[in-house]
Structure 1
Amino acid sequence: MRFTGKNIVITGAGGDLGLAISERLISEGANVLAVVEREEERTKLDKISPQGVLESFVADVTNTEQVKAYAEKAFSLWGAIDGFVNNAGIQTRVRPIVDFPEADFDRVMAVNVRGVFLGMKYVFPRMRDGGSVVNMSSALGVVGGAGIVAYVGSKHAIVGMTKTAALEVGNRGIRVNACAPGPIAGSMTFKLAEEVFAGSDKTFGETVPLGRHGTPEDVAGLVAFLLSDDSRYATGTVHAVDGGFTTP
């Protein structure tokens, strides 16, 4: 019960990773504000049996006023935020750069980069000294990937923002790290595989040394570690959970 009495905000809580992270933190006693994109996603949280407190909030992470609202909601509930999982993110169609739709590029950058920036901007002032932030990057935030320029670019940007934030808030004892998942079993990975491996039954899981997809629970375990005091001297770093995908 590492998170008993700890107040944690999670964005993208309606997705595969967000649900697993919410469930893991709740199981260890956390008070969680689960931020979802749409009202109907709130029902996905119903399966979680809280050991702590689970609240939900609907917000567009690209909208300044709505980001301010979820940060203020957590603060009004508990008086301070101890942890923040900046998890909301999207991926679009696979296309080479010369054919990549500008609207798709702008949308990915808005959610994956602006959303992470706004989250930190408005959560930091409401965060307790000594807190911890995990920004969700990707294995593709440290290597390239043909056909997904917006996603790769956005996840690289998150690594840079994480390092910058760690330098800025370290004097408050706040740690900021990035989690970099590889091919995790879930809707985003499977949809991407349908395009990348069109006409084949090949999967991303076959491309990594461990020979399988990761699970959302694998990612949740690493996030819980980074939020906890078990990682109290780690900040400004990128932590892979990718089955060896980025191993040289």
Structure 2
Amino acid sequence: MVKKTEIHAQQQSLPGKESLMQPPAEFIRPDYRGSGKLEGKIALITGADSGIGRATAIHFAREGADVAVMYLSEDDDARETQRLVEAEGQRCLTIAGDIRDAAFCRASLEKVIETFGGLNILVNNAGTQQVCYDLTELEDSQWENIFATNMHGMFYLTKAALPHLGEDDAIINTTSINAYVGPEAMIDYSATKGAIVSFTRALSNQVVGRGIRVNAVAPGPVWTPLQPATWGAYDPQMLEDFGAQTPMGRVGQPSELGPCYVFLASLDSSFISGQTLHPNGGTVVNG
């Protein structure tokens, strides 16, 4: 059983850094044993410098995949992810830049193909959020930035990746429990996460005939740098006992999310597409 993590008041600035988090997050359970489920596969993961993206990269590597790590600007965190992937005996490529830029997304995909010779798994995980309790005070620029980061970058990368994907390959999109529960403080973020659910379902229907599976993961509260950089920045005290509202009474760890992405990336999910997994601490969302 995973022990409850005591989270205390703290804050960071966006996009947040893994190295500043207290307590540190867990990325892979010590007893997690790889079984070659992704042997020989090549994966591209956005937002993989920290949090859920880093956990996914490490789990993929332990299962035998080479990994390309895309991130915005957190060089130290990205180097640590690279170290952890390479410690699993796999190759790791790091690519820094802004996924709001379509040309950067296309160039990044080309770099992955040139480096590794192909692509089998795309994980659209990068995202951002901010807190705003009054829609009339939500700046147009914030609305546009949230959609550009969370949704447009996903579109650009997926569009570039599709010609390189084929039978038994997978696309996995990170949505959120907030797409289903609609928190009042994050209308813009929740709207993007709802769009990701619909994007996942429609794209699955479009490419399932090619043998490409498209699924999503909708995490509940997970201990990642985005939390102190958003909730903590708004009010550090809001992080006290973060996650305690879940039925399990605790925040999730990235180590508990990585296996979800392994499942959806591997042939364990060979008869699953257009679906969403809900690792959220027991909250029933009926979605």
More strand by share: 1
SS at match of 1:153: helix
- AA of the residue aligned to 2:148: A
Cα 1:25–1:160 change in 2 (3 A) is: same
Map Cα deviations across residues 59-89 of structure 1 (whole Å, 9 max, x no partner): 3111111111111112222332111110110
1:38 aligns with 2:77: no
Gaps of 5+ in 1: none
Distance 1:246 1:191 in 2: 27
Alignment of 1:33-112 (within 5 A): 33-38=68-73, 40=75, 41-48=77-84, 49-112=87-150
Gaps of 5+ in 2: 1-35
Cα 1:200–1:69 change in 2 (3 A) is: closer
Provide the residue aligned with 1:14 in structure 2: 49
**Number of positions where the alignment pairs a residue of Structure 1 with one of Structure 2:** 248
Cα 1:72–1:185 change in 2 (3 A) is: same
More helix by share: 1
Match of 1:132 among 158, 170, 173: 170
Cα 1:247–1:167 change in 2 (3 A) is: closer
1:4 aligns with 2:42: no
TM-score by length of 1: 0.93
SS at match of 1:125: helix
1:228 aligns with 2:266: yes
Kindly indicate whether the alpha-carbon contact (under 8 Å) linking 1:33 and 1:56 is maintained by their aligned counterparts in 2: yes
| Higher RCO (C-alpha 8 Å, min separation 6) | 2
Alignment of 1:162-241 (within 5 A): 162-194=200-232, 202-241=240-279
Provide the residue aligned with 1:245 in structure 2: 283
Cα 1:80–1:43 change in 2 (3 A) is: closer
Match of 1:29 among 64, 67, 71: 64
Q: Give the superposition deviation at 1:37.
A: 1.3
Q: Give the superposition deviation at 1:242.
A: 0.3
Distance 2:257 2:251 in 1: 11
Map Cα deviations across residues 19-73 of structure 1 (whole Å, 9 max, x no partner): 1111111111101111121262432324301322111112311111111111111
Distance 1:243 1:81 in 2: 32
Kindly indicate whether the alpha-carbon contact (under 8 Å) linking 1:139 and 1:246 is maintained by their aligned counterparts in 2: no
Cα 1:46–1:81 change in 2 (3 A) is: closer
Deviates more, 1:171-180 or 1:33-42: 33-42
Distance 1:90 1:152 in 2: 11
SS at match of 2:243: helix
Distance 1:200 1:176 in 2: 35
Q: Give the superposition deviation at 1:247.
A: 4.3
- AA of the residue aligned to 1:3: L
Q: CA RMSD in A?
A: 1.9
Provide the residue aligned with 1:157 in structure 2: 195
- AA of the residue aligned to 2:193: K
Provide the residue aligned with 2:22 in structure 1: none
